[in-house]
Chains A and B, each alone.
Chain A
Amino acid sequence: MKLFAAVGVLASCFSLSALAQPDPADWAAVLDEARGQTVYWHAWGGDPKINDFITWVGEQALSRHGVTVTQVKLASTADAVARVVSEKQAGQDQDGAVDLIWINGENFAAMKDAGLLFGPFAELLPNWPLVDVAGKPATRMDFTEATQGLESPWAMAQLVFEYDSARLPVPPPGAGPLLDWAKANPGRFTYPQPPDYLGTTFLKQVLYGVIDNPDLLVQPVDPATYDQVTAPLWAWLEDITPALWRQGQAYPANEPALGQLMADGEIDIAFAFNPGRASAAIAAGELPDTVRTNVWTGGTIGNASFVAIPYNAAHAAGALVVANLLLDPEVQARAQDPDVLGFQTVLNLSALSAADQARFDALDLGIATLSPGDLGPALLEPHASWMTRISEDWVRRYGVAQ
Chain B
Amino acid sequence: MTTGGALRFAPRLTLLLMAVPVIAGLAGTLRPAFEAGGVARLLDWPGLPRAAALSLGTGIASALLALAITLSLVAALQGGRLFALILRLLSPLLAVPHAAAALGLAFLLAPSGWIARLLSPWATGWTRPPDLLILNDPAGLALTAGLVVKEVPFLLLILIAALPQADATRRLTLMASLGYGRVAGWMLSVLPAVWPQIRPAVYAVLAYSMTAVDMALVLGPTLPPTLSAQLVIWMTSPDLADRPVAAAGALLQLGLVLAALALFRCGELGFARLGRRLALTGRRRIRADLWLGPLAGGAGLLVVLVMAGSMAGLALWSLAGPWVFPNALPERFGLDAWERAAPGLGMAAQETLLLAIVSTALATALVLSCLEAEARFGLTPGSRVMWLLWLPLIMPQVAFLPGLADLGLRIGVDGSIGAVAAAHLVFVLPYVFLSLAAPWRAWDPRIAVAGTALGATPGRIFWRLRLPMLLRPILTAAAVGFAVSVGQYLPTLLIGGGRVTTLTTEAVALSSGGNRRIIGTYAMLQLSLPLLAFALALALPAALFRNRIGMRAGA
Contact = CB atoms under 8 A, between A and B. Distances in A.
Q: Report if A and B associate in a common complex.
A: yes
Interface of A: 40, 42, 44-48, 51-52, 55, 72-83, 85-87, 89-92, 97-98, 105-107, 109-110, 114, 186-188, 193, 245-247, 249-251, 253-254, 256-257, 259-261, 263-266, 284-286, 288, 388, 395-396, 398-402
Contacts of B518: 48
B213 to A, nearest CB: 11
Is the contact region of chain A dominated by helix, strand, or loop, or is it mixed? Answer: mixed
Given A90-B410, A250-B222, A401-B223, A76 B497 contact: no
Contacts of A77: 238
Contacts of A247: 131, 133
B181 interface: no
Nearest to A281: B515
Measured as residues with beta carbon below 8 angstroms from the partner, the interface class of chain B is 35 or more
Q: Which of the listed residues B47, B415, B509 has the most CB atoms from chain A within 10 Å of its own CB? A: B509
A244 to B, nearest CB: 9
A162 B239 CA distance: 31
Nearest to B110: A264
A86 B515 contact: no
A173 B110 CA distance: 30
B322 A285 contact: yes
A46 B513 contact: yes
Contacts of B138: 249-250, 402
B519 to A, nearest CB: 10
Interface of B: 45-47, 50, 110-112, 128-129, 131, 133, 135-138, 217, 221-224, 235-240, 243, 321-322, 324-325, 332, 336, 340-341, 343-344, 402, 405-406, 409-410, 415, 493, 497-499, 501, 505-506, 508-516, 518
Contacts of B514: 46, 254, 256-257, 259-260
A48 B515 contact: yes
A97 B112 contact: no
Contact of B512 (A45, A55, A97, A285): A45
Given A73-B509, A107-B238, A266-B111, A90 B406 contact: yes
Contacts of A402: 50, 138, 223
A400 B340 contact: no
Contacts of A254: 512, 514
A48 B514 CA distance: 11
A102 B340 CA distance: 22
Contacts of B110: 264
B406 to A, nearest CB: 6
Contacts of A261: 112
Contact of A97 (B47, B499, B513, B515): B499
A400 B48 CA distance: 9
Contact of A42 (B325, B498, B505): B498
B331 to A, nearest CB: 8
B47 A79 contact: no
B129 A400 contact: no
Contact of A253 (B217, B405, B498): B217
Nearest to B517: A286
Contact of A400 (B50, B321, B512): B50
A76 to B, nearest CB: 5
Contacts of A114: 240
A51 B513 CA distance: 11
